[in-house]
Structure 1
């Protein structure tokens, strides 16, 4: 049974979400505070985290940022009333995989939970990372493991970052259509998915900055091209 950690301080909303997910066969652990969420996360190791941003004992953004220091693979969906584009971008930049603005449809939340879990299962069922290794300039990249390293440094990519780099590598030195990339990873081409893709592309460019021979180029009106 797949385990969901739900972090939400609005008791009535939390109960609706919990019951709806349990009706779909999920095991749901509910945390009213971030401190409780940390205990549940360590004890039960959930398969996915669904968290509010504005919690009574801190920011869900900051909490996820701390989680990402040791766990880059568990998918995270942010739930929040914050509506500014900068808030959405910040959520993705700190390690979120998806974002729902309140009020939202419970049915849509369930679809997004299932989509992220199915992507994780699909990634884990692929051959081990040793079968998917690339040399990218000074860097070595393994997929689906997500390791990105040089002779004297290493970084663990999030699942989203690794997926995007994987698709860029499949089209090395060729144009990769932006909408095709969005559909492959997010399943849609809406505005917020597009903004999150922009964030991840910027992060990948930052990671490769030590090697100027590696470039991720914007192809106007089409998408991207990875060259090295």
Structure 2
């Protein structure tokens, strides 16, 4: 993946640092837009549909970086997020990673180190590439996301929109863990008890739909998420 395709949203309330990072990243040939607080960053993200990488300070005015990241990932679950912070507390790092952060960098930091992390993350992320795949082979089944269908030997099962969304997230990360928080935030728009129970029901339904092929399973990684095996 070519990191030159990056279009970064940078939200940093320290304007000196913000301007320095903006100039540095632009010197590397990538697009960068700087915002000064969480609310401004969220509004800018909503207006500009081209961002494909996030760098958020944690301690932001009006809306903190964690909340901002949750709202951004509710719209684009796979967009990479790097947090910047002056605090090195384990609890903060765990919170960031639970949200789905790709990295967590403690200030002060070296700009070249940040760039190396951005390049590494962009290379392993398929978000920047245009998502064109809508038909997935799941064992003996064919899953057509656009047509909400699951087919086996000519028999077609129509899925609900939400079932298809959950299944697509599992298919895109086949054999890897998809976190519950990521699914809930992206599809339900919230991560609470009731949404969690609803997700459990959807996973149970999907398991039944795949009963025609015993090689397919949806593993429950307790308190973490799910893995589609096939």
What TM-score do you get using the length of structure 1 for normalisation?
0.61
1:59 matches 2:67: no
Question: Residue 76 of structure 2 corresponds to which residue in structure 1?
Answer: 71
- The 3-state SS of whatever aligns with 2:34 is strand
CA drift of 1:7 comes to: 0.3
Say how many residue pairs are matched. 181
Cα deviation digits, residues 196-216 of structure 1 (max 9, x gap):
x8x949989x86685497445
Structure 1: distance between partners of 2:167 and 2:83? 19
The Cα shift of 1:132 comes to: 4.6
The structural deviation recorded for 1:29 is 0.5
Higher RCO structure, 1 or 2 (CA under 8 Å, sep 6+): 2
Q: Which one of the candidate residues 10, 16, 19 is aligned to 1:15?
A: 19
2:10 equivalent to 1:2:
no
The residue that corresponds to 2:174 in the other structure is: 166
Q: 1:109 aligns with which of 110, 114, 121?
A: 114
What is the aligned partner in structure 1 of residue 94 from structure 2? 89
2: CA distance, partners of 1:156 / 1:104: 38
Distance (whole Å) between structure 2 residues aligned to residue 90 and residue 8 of structure 1: 19
How far apart, CA to CA, are the structure 1 residues paired with 2:221 and 2:87? 32
**Equivalent residue, structure 2, for 1:124:** 129
- 1:191 alignment counterpart: none
2:48 counterpart of 1:44: yes
Question: Shift of residue 67 of structure 1?
Answer: 1.8
Aligned to 1:34: 38
Contact 2:175–2:229 (8 Å) recurs in 1: no
Q: Does structure 1 conserve the Cα–Cα contact (< 8 Å) formed by 2:55 and 2:84?
A: yes
- 1:134–1:141 CA contact under 8 A, matched in 2: no
Verify the 8 A CA contact 1:47 1:117 in the aligned structure 2. Answer: no
Give a deviation string over 1:23-66, Cα, whole Å, max 9, x none. 10012100011122123212323121100011121211011112
Cα 1:208–1:31, aligned 2, differ >3 Å: closer, same or farther? same
RMSD of aligned alpha carbons: 3.9
Cα distance in 1 for residues equivalent to 2:18 and 2:96: 21
Change (3 A) 1:86 1:141: farther
